[in-house]
Amino acid sequence: MKLPSPFNIVGALAAIDLMAGCSQSELTALEPHADVLTVVPGDALARPRMVAREFIGILDGYVHETDDSGALRVLGPGEQIGAAQLFERAPHTTSFTAATTTTLVVVFGPSFRAAMWNVASVRDRLAGPIGPATVSPQVASFRGGW
């Protein structure tokens, strides 16, 4: 996968599956609130019961998601962490740890929630299953915005 330059935040956001239906202008709205960064194996990205404070998209590398029972799921390029929790204003229920050197695009949580709530393709995907967790029925039926 060809990585976007650190100065091409819009390209980085477009590489995340959840954002596939977003327009250039919708992604550009997030640009001032986002960064591309690299983490090393073992870096903790989120822990259970930790309030979600950012949207994290995986550009390159792999992340381990582990629940309390020790069950493991591997996330890779195009996948994301935190979108459902941001929309629900809920804590993470699993831990996320970099398994390899991993390049991420990270968006400040309130900015992601505010901008993406108005994007039907993102809102609708968050109202249904996105990985092992789903958004609550209250959020799924809410269409008024934040």
pLDDT digits (tens, 9 = 90+) for 91-110: 999 999 999 999 999 999 88
Q: Identify the CA nearest to 111 among candidates 92, 83, 144, 133.
A: 83
Q: Which residues does the chain have with pLDDT short of 50?
A: 130-146
Q: Rounded to whole angstroms, what are the CA distances from 65 to 58, 76, 79, 83?
A: 13, 11, 12, 15
In this prediction, residue 68 carries a pLDDT of 87
In the block, tokens 């229920």 appear at 93
The CATH H-level superfamily of 9-133 is Jelly Rolls (2.60.120.10)
**Domain map of the chain by residue range?**
9-133
Please give the Cα distance from 139 to 57 (Å, whole number): 22
User: Are 75 and 65 contacting, i.e. CB atoms less than 8 angstroms apart?
Assistant: yes
In single-letter form, the type of residue at position 49 comes to R
Q: Is the pTM of this model over 0.85?
A: no
